[in-house]
């Protein structure tokens, strides 16, 4: 079994409920179980203007699936929940990203792990530190806590909602 970390986000509709529903659905993926969940955060959109704030969090999974099969299942959940992929960084009902898949480094056409932007996103680092502060990023060689400590980006407000 492999431990994978999945970033979760929503900024359309009932954002908190969308995140909760996606976690419930993720827990039903064959040969996969949710092992931990961060609190949810209200987060400022990054890289775009004029969008509503997000609800974000991270879960850890134990899975017997390959990274590609896990990705397929996550994309199926997004589709079932009504995600429409019109343009990059568009508003979405749900977004499920593989952040880490064990300590593997994967560079394929449709999948890059570790997620190439995770160390630049406070909305990923805050919940990652909550779940696994000492986990080492397999490319950057720093712990999640160290990446957050070094974080310097401005304009990325992350406000804990206080509930998982």
Task: Please pick, among 20, 83, 121, 122, the residue that the annotation labels catalytic.
Answer: 83
Task: Please pick, among 95, 122, 152, 157, the residue that the annotation labels catalytic.
Answer: 95
Residue 48 has pLDDT above 80, yes or no: no
Please report which confidence band the pLDDT of residue 94 belongs to, taking 50, 70 and 90 as the band edges. Answer: very high
- How does pLDDT run across 139-149, given as a tens digit for each residue? 999 999 999 99
Residue 83 bears catalytic tag: yes
Task: Please pick, among 20, 92, 121, 122, the residue that the annotation labels catalytic.
Answer: 92
Class of domain 2-152: alpha beta
Calculate mean pLDDT across residues 67-91: 85
Residue 97 bears catalytic tag: yes
Residue 95 bears catalytic tag: yes
Calculate mean pLDDT across residues 18-40: 97
pLDDT, the chain, mean: 91
Calculate mean pLDDT across residues 7-26: 95
42 contact partners, CB below 8 Å, separation of at least 6: 53, 54, 55, 158, 159, 161
pTM for the whole thing? 0.92
Query: Is 90 or 157 the better-scoring residue by pLDDT?
Result: 157
CA-based nearest residue to 122, from 56, 50, 39, 52: 56
Token match 């499920």: residue? 96
Q: Domain residue spans in the chain? A: 2-152
pLDDT of residue 157: 83
Neighbours of 44 (CB within 10 A): 14
Taking phi over 0 as left and psi of -120 to 50 as alpha, with beta for the rest, 5 belongs to: beta
- How does pLDDT run across 112-129, given as a tens digit for each residue? 999 999 999 999 999 999
- State the Cα–Cα distance between residues 10 and 41, nearest whole angstrom: 11
CA-based nearest residue to 99, from 60, 134, 62: 60
pLDDT of residue 163: 56
- State the Cα–Cα distance between residues 48 and 62, nearest whole angstrom: 33
Query: DSSP 3-state assignment of 44?
Result: coil
Residue 134 bears catalytic tag: no
């Amino acid at each position: 079994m492999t431990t994978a970390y999945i970033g979760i986000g929503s900024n359309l509709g009932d954002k908190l409920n969308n995140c909760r529903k996606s976690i419930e659905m993720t827990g039903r993926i064959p040969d996969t179980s949710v092992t931990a969940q961060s609190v949810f955060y209200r987060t400022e959109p990054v890289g775009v203007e004029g969008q509503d704030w997000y609800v974000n969090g991270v879960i850890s999974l134990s899975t017997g699936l390959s990274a590609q099969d896990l990705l397929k299942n996550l994309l199926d959940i997004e589709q079932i929940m009504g995600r429409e992929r019109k343009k990059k960084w568009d508003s979405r009902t749900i977004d499920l990203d593989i952040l880490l898949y064990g300590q593997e480094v994967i560079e394929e056409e449709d999948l890059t792990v570790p997620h190439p932007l995770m160390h630049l996103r406070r909305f990923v680092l805050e919940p990652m530190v909550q779940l696994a502060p000492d986990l080492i990023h397999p490319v950057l060689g720093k712990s999640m806590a160290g990446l957050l400590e070094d974080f310097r980006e401005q304009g990325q407000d992350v406000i804990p909602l206080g509930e998982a």
